[in-house]
């Protein structure tokens, strides 16, 4: 915890995608409230899935990595950019919101 700069922590992950998401209108799931987060999913050029997280709950990078890795294993999207604003949601809530956002991509 001491190594983390004061303020919000920013974490970024990139995964090689498999399933092209195509073009779609941006999707938003969740609200930035205590113990909650918002997830914005947008189309992106290329075939990666990039995930950027800004969180007030600092020092949990290891857990975030495991969570997004499992998310990508469930939904190996390609050409997608995921942006998250988080206020201390537990991994259970994070996974739920990510899945909720993706479910709105595929009707």
Interacting residue ranges for another protein, rule: CB under 8 A: 6-8, 26, 28, 31-33, 35-36, 38, 40, 42, 54-57, 60, 62-63, 66-67, 83, 85-88, 90-93, 96, 99-100, 103
Q: How far is the CB of 86 from another protein (least distance, A)?
A: 6
Strand partners, 41: 27, 82
Residues 41, 98: contact at Cβ < 8 Å?
A: no
22 sits in the region (left: phi over 0; alpha: psi -120 to 50; else beta) called left
CB of 31 to another protein, least distance (A): 5
Nearer residue to another protein within complex by CB, 16 or 59:
59
Asked if residue 82 lies in contact with residue 29, where contact means CB atoms within 8 angstroms, the answer is no
Rounded distance between C-alpha atoms, residue 86 and residue 84, angstroms: 6
Name the minimum Å distance from CB 98 to another protein.
11
Q: Which residue, 18 or 103, has its beta carbon nearer to another protein?
A: 103
């Amino acid at each position: 915890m001491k190594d983390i700069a004061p303020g919000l922590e920013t974490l970024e992950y990139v995964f090689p995608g498999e399933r092209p998401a195509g073009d779609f209108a941006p999707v938003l799931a969740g609200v930035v409230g205590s113990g909650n987060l918002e997830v914005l999913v947008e189309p992106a050029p290329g075939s990666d899935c990039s995930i950027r997280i800004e969180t007030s709950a600092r020092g949990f990078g290891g857990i975030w990595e495991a969570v997004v890795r499992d998310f990508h294993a469930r939904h190996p999207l390609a050409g997608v950019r995921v942006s998250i604003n988080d206020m201390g949601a537990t991994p259970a809530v994070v996974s739920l919101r990510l899945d909720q956002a993706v479910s709105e991509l595929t009707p």
